[in-house]
Structure 1
Amino acid sequence: MAPQDRYLTLLTSLPAHGPLFGAKQTPLSRLRLRKRLAWLEPEDSEDLTRLAAATDWHRQRFDVDDEAVVQQAEQAIAQIHNAFTRDLAGWRLELRTVVAALRRRRAGEPAPSGRRKWGFGRWVPHIARHWTEPHFRLERVYPWLPEAKRLMDDGDPLGLERLLLGAVWTHLERIGAGHEFDFEAVIVYVTRWDLVARWTRYDADAALARFDALLETALTGVDLDLAA
């Protein structure tokens, strides 16, 4: 089967994504998605794996071992063959770099020096030069940046998570236009699947935490007789 026919079959077998923030679960399970992705051409499958290695939000943390993470990400991205996939990986890591800079500055850290890699992409020296500017003079590039700073300053991690996931979702809508039954469309679908999985997991965890807090507040001052 020709690659274009293979990807047409793959993509038509995948249930459509609904709105990101209206989702209660992913449109199909991780196991079913992996089975569908077995249809990928070997080189495309490798690119998808490298994209995940470069942008996995749980395995990579710029605030812990930033230089090692940046080097690992650069190596993974350099090995991606597909230009669309490579550009998406770079864009997401640049976004993370900007958010990491906000967190660093809020924690009282000085402007990073050029001797050590702390972030990824074209904006690293720009951010260092404009460290004292509220939004690093990047609000035109990232219109969501002022709101991200406000949410961070207000201590609203759920709001910040929602904002950032929404920014990625919107970016995918823009770059995915014109890609329907090709590998690029697969990349967009899988990345959206990851966003839905992350949001539904995060939202459920946040809801449970809020419920526990409310329950604890409601029971304050109540003497529970467990022997009753």
Structure 2
Amino acid sequence: MAHPDRYAMLLTALPYHGPLFGATQTPLSRFRLNQRLSLLGEDEARCLQDARRVIEWAQQPSERTDAETVREARRLIERIDNRFVRDLVVWRLELRTLVAALRRRHRGEDVPRGRDWGFGRWVGHLQRHWHEPAFGLERAFPWLPEAERHLRTGAAVDLERLLLGVVWDRLERLSDGHYLDFEAILIYVLRWDLIARWTSYDGERALQRFDALLERALADL
């Protein structure tokens, strides 16, 4: 079966996900999702798996340091040949680095040394502007001041909602022009992951997660 036909068959078998914050459950179970994804070829399945391994913190060993996480991310990204997928994964890691910087500063840490505490093009800028509000990046990332405020006030659910919304909106923009291709499948799966995460939270667990995130800088988002 040609790739476009296989993509069309897979995507038409996936139910519409709807808005993130209006969801009460995932549009289909994890088991059913994995069944649908079995239509992917070997290389496509590995590409999707590598992308999710980098992005999803649940797949990272809890004892791994930030530097080890960055090195492993670089290793996996080098294996991803699809430019769209690489760019999306890099964006997520750069977003995670911005939030990691907020968390470190919230804990009262000084400017981190070296570059292995974060990932991507903003590491040097963050170090140079460590003591500025929103690291001087509020125009590039308008959500940073709000995230900083939620950290300061301990608003765990609000912070989680904000960060998930930032990622969801990015995926929404990237979906334009991708309807029956591998990129559309990737976007659907990453949206499914966000819905699964949001619908599994409750207030108490969010507070526990908030405390845990403050203990680790490069935590998931």
Q: Calculate the TM-score normalised by the size of structure 2.
A: 0.89
Counterpart of 1:160 in structure 2 is 159
Q: Is the 8 A contact 2:157 2:206 kept in 1?
A: no
Counterpart of 1:127 in structure 2 is 126
Cα 1:18–1:154 change in 2 (3 A) is same
Partners in 1 of 2:96 and 2:57 — Cα distance?
A: 9
Q: CA RMSD in A?
A: 1.9
Q: Is the 8 A contact 1:62 1:118 kept in 2?
A: no
State the structure with more CA Rg. 1
Partners in 2 of 1:208 and 1:54 — Cα distance?
A: 23
Q: Is the 8 A contact 2:156 2:206 kept in 1?
A: no
Partners in 1 of 2:131 and 2:144 — Cα distance?
A: 15
Counterpart of 1:104 in structure 2 is 104
Partners in 2 of 1:44 and 1:76 — Cα distance?
A: 14
Cα 1:209–1:170 change in 2 (3 A) is closer
Q: Is the 8 A contact 2:20 2:194 kept in 1?
A: yes
1:206 aligns with 2:197: no
How many residues are paired up? Answer: 207
Counterpart of 1:219 in structure 2 is none
Q: Is the 8 A contact 1:62 1:97 kept in 2?
A: no
Cα 1:80–1:209 change in 2 (3 A) is closer
Q: Is the 8 A contact 1:62 1:100 kept in 2?
A: no
**Aligned 1:137-216 pairs, distance under 5 A:** 137-202=136-201, 205-206=202-203
1:117-148 deviations in whole A, cap 9, x for unaligned? 10011000110000001101111221111110
Counterpart of 2:47 in structure 1 is 47
Cα 1:93–1:62 change in 2 (3 A) is farther
Partners in 2 of 1:209 and 1:97 — Cα distance?
A: 21
How far the C-alpha of 1:60 sits from its partner, in A, is: 3.9
Aligned residue type for 2:23: A
1:184-211 deviations in whole A, cap 9, x for unaligned? 0000000000000000012xx326789x
Partners in 1 of 2:9 and 2:59 — Cα distance?
A: 32
Q: Calculate the TM-score normalised by the size of structure 1.
A: 0.87
Counterpart of 1:6 in structure 2 is 6
**Tell me, what secondary structure is at the counterpart of 1:136?**
helix
1:3-45 deviations in whole A, cap 9, x for unaligned? 0000001001100011100100000000000000001121111
Q: Is the 8 A contact 1:10 1:36 kept in 2?
A: yes
**Tell me, what secondary structure is at the counterpart of 1:189?**
helix
**Tell me, what secondary structure is at the counterpart of 1:20?**
coil
How far the C-alpha of 1:62 sits from its partner, in A, is: 10
Counterpart of 1:220 in structure 2 is none
Partners in 2 of 1:80 and 1:94 — Cα distance?
A: 17
Aligned residue type for 1:20: L
Q: Is the 8 A contact 1:62 1:119 kept in 2?
A: no
How far the C-alpha of 1:57 sits from its partner, in A, is: 2.2
Structure of greater relative contact order (alpha carbons < 8 Å, 6+ residues apart): 2
Aligned residue type for 2:129: H
Cα 1:138–1:209 change in 2 (3 A) is closer
Aligned residue type for 1:71: R
Counterpart of 2:218 in structure 1 is none
Identity of aligned residues (%): 56
